[in-house]
Structure 1
Amino acid sequence: MAKPISTIQKIELTEEQKKAQSLENLLSEVAQNKDSLLQTLELLQELHSSGILEALNSLVKVKEDVAKIAVGQLTRPPVTNMINNAMAAGGALTEMDPEMTKKLMGSVANGLQKAQEGIESGRKVGIFDLMKAMKDPDINRALGFGLDVLKGVGEGLRK
């Protein structure tokens, strides 16, 4: 019959053996990830060449100061107003029909082009020109649209 094990001998590696094993593991990982490591090195070289790496290192060293400045800038009233306005505009845009918005933006672009042509021609507009323009279906449509927009704005302001 076999003799029972009474003691367990733990194999302790020397410091040199631990270093050699770590180095062997590292070399194995490098060999397995050669392509990604080469790309990473190339990226770091480009960042270094352009000076971006040095700037990033400097930013990391003074991260608390940069964070204080950034937070200070973001909490200024003009910035918070801008954020609030952007959120309100985004909310309003979600309620609008995208096709109508597209049509309106195209119409505004076309109108600005016509306005530029009118400025370049240098012609003067008199009262009779205005009365004659009212009979133009395109101008009449735009005026009606404008009046409807003003009506809606007025109703919205009353609430």
Structure 2
Amino acid sequence: MAKAIKQIKKKNHNQEEEQASAVASIVKEIANNSDAILTMIGIVKNLHEMGALDTISALIEKRNDVGVIAIQQINKPEMHKTIKNGINTFNFLGTIDPEQLRTMLFGITKGLERASESVGKKENQSLWQMGKAMRNPDTRATISMMMDFMQGMGEGMANVPTNKK
């Protein structure tokens, strides 16, 4: 039978061996991830060249002052309204069919182009020309769409619950 182990001898590494082992493992990781490290160095270099690192460093050094200013700005009533308006805008955009919005925005773009051409010419239409324009199918389609828009907007405004604070 084997003898029972009564004493365990711990192998003591000296500090130089531990450092050498740590350096070896770091060098191994650098070699295995050289592409990522080179990319990171390039990013840091670009940030340094454009002055972003100095800005970030200054922000970190003055983080308490910056935090106080940020909180003061966020606590203003105007900012509360801005945040609520932003949320409402995103909610509104979420309800619109993308194709409908695309069609409307394309029409608005064409209308703005036409209006800027008209302003550039500095020509005013006579009442007679405006009356004739009402016979144009594009004009009539736009006016019809605007009337439908105004009716729908009126219906929507009439049904909105008012909860002013």
Instruction: Bin the TM-score by the shorter chain.
Output: 0.7 to 0.9
- The CA deviation at 1:34 is 3.4
Segments of structure 2 that go 5 or more residues without pairing to the other structure are: 160-165
Q: Does 1:65 align with 2:62?
A: no
Distance 1:101 1:87 in 2: 19
Which residue is equivalent to 2:127?
Answer: 127
- The CA deviation at 1:106 is 1.0
Aligned AA (1:114): R
Q: Does 1:113 align with 2:123?
A: no
Distance 2:43 2:123 in 1: 60
Cα separation, partners in 2 of 1:12 and 1:155, compared to 1, 3 Å: same
Q: Percent identity?
A: 28
Q: Name segments (4+ residues, structure 1) moved above 4 Å.
A: none
Which residue is equivalent to 1:15?
Answer: 15
Which residue is equivalent to 2:30?
Answer: 30
Cα separation, partners in 2 of 1:42 and 1:118, compared to 1, 3 Å: closer
Aligned AA (1:107): G
- Deviation string 1:87-132 (CA, Å, 9 cap, x unpaired) is 2222222222222211111111111122122223333333333332
- The CA deviation at 1:24 is 3.2
Which residue is equivalent to 1:153?
Answer: 153
TM-score, with structure 2 as normaliser: 0.78
Which residue is equivalent to 1:51?
Answer: 51
Which residue is equivalent to 1:89?
Answer: 89
Which residue is equivalent to 2:162?
Answer: none
Which residue is equivalent to 2:104?
Answer: 104
Cα separation, partners in 2 of 1:135 and 1:8, compared to 1, 3 Å: same
- Deviation string 1:39-95 (CA, Å, 9 cap, x unpaired) is 333433343344322222222122222222223323333333223222222222222
Segments of structure 1 that go 5 or more residues without pairing to the other structure are: none
Cα separation, partners in 2 of 1:36 and 1:121, compared to 1, 3 Å: closer
- The CA deviation at 1:146 is 1.3
